[in-house]
């Protein structure tokens, strides 16, 4: 086990509430994609969907309109392999159909192995990348930083 793992968070705002019929193509895939992620090579951890929903509500966010995800992976490569293959890739290709294009945002950052980031931490990292672009504290697949510069 390495000294660092890769945390990732993403958020997007639906064009409609998640219980709207136009969002069925997205909502019908959520559980299957989460199950596949948890079985993927290099997957480490993710909070339960119930935990993330409760956290979003506690923070005054609308979990029926904002899709938020948080997970931890062994490496950027492991996350890439999952994110850009299979059922997840099919969903990614349809993002503009379900989500407001300007709302889609993702971030990655290095955490000490064993650390379990919180929803608050994930949202803070998303705010950092929104404000500053990619930095060691929050980066993207296009502009990456190594674990030697974990941004802590």
Task: Dump pLDDT digits (tens) for 78-92.
Answer: 999 999 887 777 887
CB atoms within 10 A of CB 1: 8
List, for residues 135-152, the tens digit of each pLDDT value: 999 999 999 999 875 554
Supply angle C-alpha 108, 109, 111, rounded to 5.
Answer: 135
Tell me, what's the pLDDT at 128?
A: 96
Tokens of 132: 């500053």
Position of tokens 């990292």? 125
Does the 4-132 domain belong in CATH 3.30.450.20?
no
According to DSSP, residue 21 is labeled: G
Average pLDDT over residues 33-42: 93
> What gap in Å lies between CA 139 and CA 123, rounded to an integer?
14
pTM for the whole structure: 0.91
Tokens of 150: 């974990």
């Amino acid at each position: 086990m390495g000294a660092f793992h890769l945390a990732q968070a993403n958020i997007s705002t639906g064009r409609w509430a998640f219980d709207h019929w136009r969002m069925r193509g997205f909502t019908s895939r959520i559980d299957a994609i989460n199950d596949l992620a948890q079985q993927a090579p290099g997957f480490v951890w993710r909070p339960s969907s119930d935990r993330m929903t409760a956290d979003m509500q506690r923070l005054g966010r609308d979990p029926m309109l904002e899709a938020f995800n948080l997970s931890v992976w062994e490496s950027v490569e492991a996350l890439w392999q999952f994110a850009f293959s299979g059922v997840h890739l099919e969903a990614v290709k349809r993002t503009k159909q379900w989500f407001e294009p300007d709302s889609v945002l993702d971030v990655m950052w290095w955490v000490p192995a064993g650390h379990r980031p919180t929803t608050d931490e994930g949202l803070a990292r998303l705010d950092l990348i929104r404000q500053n672009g990619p930095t060691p504290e929050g980066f993207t697949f296009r502009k990456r930083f190594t674990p030697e510069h974990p941004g802590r």
